[in-house]
Structure 1
Amino acid sequence: MTPAAGLRQVAVLGATGSIGASALDVIARYPQRMRASVLAAGSNTGALLALCAAHRPDHAVIADPAGLAPLRDGLRAAGLATRAHAGDEALEALVAGPACDTVVAAIVGAAGLGSTLAAARAGKRLLLANKESLVLAGELVIAAARASGAEIVPIDSEHSAVFQCLRSCRAEGVRRLVLTASGGPFRGWDSARLATVTPAQAVAHPKWSMGPKISVDSATLMNKGLEVIEAHHLFGLAGDRIDVLVHPQSLVHALVEYVDGSTLAQLGLPDMRTALAVGLGWPERIDSGVAGLDLLAEGRLEFEAPDLAAFPCLRLAREALVAGGTAPAVLNAANEEAVSAFLQGRIGFLGIPALVEDTLAALPAAPAGSLEALLAADAEARRFARQHLPPMPSAGIRTA
């Protein structure tokens, strides 16, 4: 298929997730300006088919090769001309080729690195929600974007807020950045209470609608730690110039303090469509479908320091940033394995930071001059973490 002339052609990676849904909502509001040309999902073929019927992309990609035949058959049965693809190589080729000029990178975890790098190397406008790509290989992604002329517009709410306050990804005149955190569902809890947390409680975020992994990261404050590392790469500031404040209302998304004493803040309702509209329309402002902020109705804005004793993941992320090299890759890999184990019931909530800390201690930072070195560190960290997990829980035997 030949993309329609004059329309922004958008590849939505992670289309069946919450960020993908928000992106498609904004895209659908501007049929004369943009369209979803590529939709990609992990393994939910049915959900991807439903999105193809609604948005009629040129290409649909399922990460799991086992889903290719059902996807192809479903598209044919629906009378859609959308072409079916499967696997990382197919996705990276589409992202790098003429099928799109804009990429919404919303695949969760290290799995999103390949397509993010492909978009950066190909000079696309990259709407970046996959923070793990920058945690794992930030220097490589940023260097690729600079070499190709790719435009990175962050769409995490906090980094979008910084981007808007700076109006560009330059840090001249900036004294520090302040990222805000809601505090998650367990703000104010001590270690004794946190030891009782269940997966169902951890994924029930009080403010944001997110997938299980990101919700758990928010509950442990690892999400904020990853965002500190991401902000370091995006905006070129050292980690000691990037602060975090807990702000339970989730209305102030970030603040930028300048050397003259001025501080600019970006405020808005907690809805990802705002940041996505910034990325899709920049430098124009376009309607996102999100209502304006009524400060009188919202009432007070509160801020407090994060509790690093109860939530050590933020400390661990900062330590990995200072260590540099492969340490952030080890941090990210160990965290992904720990969160997966928690969601499976293999470890408790406090076992997440414990496993991450043990992995970082066992695998000291090494030079990270190539993608191969980073991927090797990622694999080694996953092996270590898995070897130090308890066995899968049995289904149990019912007795009379």
Structure 2
Amino acid sequence: MSDSPSPLADPHTVFAPDPGPGPRDLVVLGSTGSIGTQAIDLVLRNPDRFRVTALSAAGGRVGLLAEQARTLRVAAVAVAREDSVPALREALAAEYGGESLPEILAGPTAAAELAASDCHTVLNGITGSIGLAPTLAALKAGRTLALANKESLIVGGPLVKELARPGQIIPVDSEHAALFQALAAGTRADVRKLVVTASGGPFRGRTRAELAAVTPADALAHPTWAMGPVITVNSATLVNKGLEVIEAHLLYDIPFDRIEVVVHPQSYVHSMVEFTDGSTLAQATPPDMRGPIAIGVGWPERIPDAAPAFDWTKASTWEFFPLDTEAFPAVGLARHVGELGGTAPAVFNAANEECVDAFLAGKLPFNGIMDTVTDVVTEHGVPARGTRLTVDDVLQAETRARARARELAAKAMAEARA
């Protein structure tokens, strides 16, 4: 491995220094979700450092979006759902009184338009592969990208790598923010292994047989993190950890056989880097996403009191366990599709999203999620080598994978009821 900087995430390289005195301008995508609301909390506590110029959301929580827009005095808001615009206008009018309203953008390209708008940093906190277009738009426009939307990197890896310049992407996932910080201690040539930690989710220690009858309520009861339903179920299946392995490979240009997953129930150590001299650097904080968000939007500066610190006067126990690959095959399958490349990761991610929806709706058993995803990936086969990946390739592969996942999930449920 060379000592040249990673083309995606490199803690030693600052892509876009602040232009001068005054707060850093941010665009927050997915502002009404978990990442977005915590980012806004951080901004409101640090008005001298940050100013939000635009917000985007799906459109399901227009009241909260309007409140955020008024509080932050943004120039523009965007919603993906065009049918939510009347309700958004009404909510904004109620918030603003007689004042002029911000510009409203709507539709599937609205978030990407904001991602390309004039700002220093775009925080992409959108959930799902719909975050790909805004990711590409931010990179094309030359913005620093604080990336919480791992799916856009997973499904569009080659497209993102083609556009991103050294230091342009700052990861916001707790695990990748941890690796990012630990990697600052040495050169890429010094790195032997990346160790990605997993809480183990709510089902740590259970066998595959014991997982057969778990319910959506069981899966949504995460022991350490408060997240949206899709990410929480992905944590229960460990699909989330599989996606993070692919993401680590793409961000840091480390081969898959040098990326390890270890179960750490307390979620204090967010990930580790093992160096060639035998030393391991771990990044640790109490579980709180405001820390990684602060790294994403503030790097290379650290934001004082962004998140709670440990109380070292109190005793605590930190445990680490090997991953049970039989009960939780998602990480192994993710490595496989990551090595295949092409549209295989997009197929994996799209099929999983459909299966999670089916599971939450009571239309697929828990073990059926990974069984169905595995079948869809197997049917997809080995991608053709030597062809340049396009956005259309990704979208078409996702569409086929979603349709096939729905078919197989319905078939599995029918057989289970027979």
- Matching of residues 145-164 of structure 1 within 5 Å: 145-146=164-165, 151-164=168-181
Counterpart residue number, 1:87: 107
Q: What is the DSSP-based 3-state SS (H/G/I as helix, E as strand, rest coil) of the residue aligned with 1:88?
A: coil
1:164 deviation in Å?
A: 0.4
Question: Distance between the aligned counterparts of 1:333 and 1:185, measured in 2?
Answer: 23
Counterpart residue number, 2:22: 6
- Output the amino acid matched with 1:7: P
Cα RMSD between the aligned structures? 2.1
1:169 deviation in Å?
A: 11
CA deviation digits over 1:141-177, x for unaligned, max 9? Answer: 122112xx66110010000001001129963221010
- Matching of residues 210-359 of structure 1 within 5 Å: 210-295=227-312, 297-359=314-376
1:392 deviation in Å?
A: 12
Counterpart residue number, 2:397: 377
1:278 deviation in Å?
A: 1.3
1:296 deviation in Å?
A: 5.1
Range 128-137 or range 160-169, more displaced: 160-169
1:33 deviation in Å?
A: 2.1
Q: What is the DSSP-based 3-state SS (H/G/I as helix, E as strand, rest coil) of the residue aligned with 2:164?
A: helix
Structure 2 alignment gaps of length 5 or more: 1-19, 414-418
**TM-score (ref. length: structure 1):** 0.92
Aligned pair 1:132/2:151, yes or no? yes
Q: Is the 8 A contact 2:32 2:65 kept in 1?
A: yes
Question: Distance between the aligned counterparts of 1:288 and 1:203, measured in 2?
Answer: 29
| Partner residue of 1:67 out of 78, 84, 89 | 84
1:217 deviation in Å?
A: 0.3
Question: Structure 1 residues 169 and 358, CA, compared in 2 at 3 Å: closer, same or farther?
Answer: farther
Question: Structure 1 residues 273 and 65, CA, compared in 2 at 3 Å: closer, same or farther?
Answer: same
Counterpart residue number, 1:36: 52
- Output the amino acid matched with 2:298: G
Question: Distance between the aligned counterparts of 1:5 and 1:261, measured in 2?
Answer: 42
1:289 deviation in Å?
A: 3.7
Range 128-137 or range 286-295, more displaced: 286-295
- Output the amino acid matched with 1:109: G
Question: Distance between the aligned counterparts of 2:412 and 2:343, measured in 1?
Answer: 29
Range 173-182 or range 275-284, more displaced: 275-284
1:53 deviation in Å?
A: 2.8
Range 368-377 or range 278-287, more displaced: 368-377
- Output the amino acid matched with 2:115: V
Counterpart residue number, 1:19: 35
Question: Distance between the aligned counterparts of 1:48 and 1:168, measured in 2?
Answer: 39
Q: What is the DSSP-based 3-state SS (H/G/I as helix, E as strand, rest coil) of the residue aligned with 2:272?
A: strand
Whose RCO is larger (CA < 8 A, sep 6+)? 2
Q: What is the DSSP-based 3-state SS (H/G/I as helix, E as strand, rest coil) of the residue aligned with 1:249?
A: coil
Q: What is the DSSP-based 3-state SS (H/G/I as helix, E as strand, rest coil) of the residue aligned with 2:127?
A: coil
Counterpart residue number, 1:97: 117
Question: Distance between the aligned counterparts of 1:259 and 1:12, measured in 2?
Answer: 38
Aligned pair 1:197/2:214, yes or no? yes
Q: Is the 8 A contact 2:25 2:50 kept in 1?
A: yes
- Output the amino acid matched with 1:343: L
Question: Distance between the aligned counterparts of 2:271 and 2:64, measured in 1?
Answer: 34
Question: Distance between the aligned counterparts of 2:80 and 2:411, measured in 1?
Answer: 28
Q: What is the DSSP-based 3-state SS (H/G/I as helix, E as strand, rest coil) of the residue aligned with 2:122?
A: strand
Question: Distance between the aligned counterparts of 2:266 and 2:57, measured in 1?
Answer: 32
Q: Is the 8 A contact 2:67 2:95 kept in 1?
A: no
1:298 deviation in Å?
A: 4.9
- Output the amino acid matched with 1:224: K
1:267 deviation in Å?
A: 0.6
Q: Is the 8 A contact 1:96 1:122 kept in 2?
A: yes
Q: Is the 8 A contact 1:88 1:115 kept in 2?
A: no
Range 288-297 or range 240-249, more displaced: 288-297
Aligned pair 1:167/2:187, yes or no? no
Question: Structure 1 residues 218 and 187, CA, compared in 2 at 3 Å: closer, same or farther?
Answer: same
Counterpart residue number, 2:379: 362
Q: Is the 8 A contact 1:169 1:234 kept in 2?
A: no
Q: Is the 8 A contact 2:53 2:75 kept in 1?
A: yes
1:211 deviation in Å?
A: 0.2
Q: What is the DSSP-based 3-state SS (H/G/I as helix, E as strand, rest coil) of the residue aligned with 1:40?
A: strand
Identity, % of aligned positions: 47
Question: Structure 1 residues 234 and 168, CA, compared in 2 at 3 Å: closer, same or farther?
Answer: farther
Q: What is the DSSP-based 3-state SS (H/G/I as helix, E as strand, rest coil) of the residue aligned with 2:109?
A: helix
Question: Distance between the aligned counterparts of 2:44 and 2:294, measured in 1?
Answer: 11
**TM-score (ref. length: structure 2):** 0.88
Structure 1 alignment gaps of length 5 or more: 394-400
1:83 deviation in Å?
A: 1.7
Question: Distance between the aligned counterparts of 2:103 and 2:411, measured in 1?
Answer: 41
- Output the amino acid matched with 2:113: A
Question: Distance between the aligned counterparts of 1:28 and 1:124, measured in 2?
Answer: 22
Counterpart residue number, 2:15: none
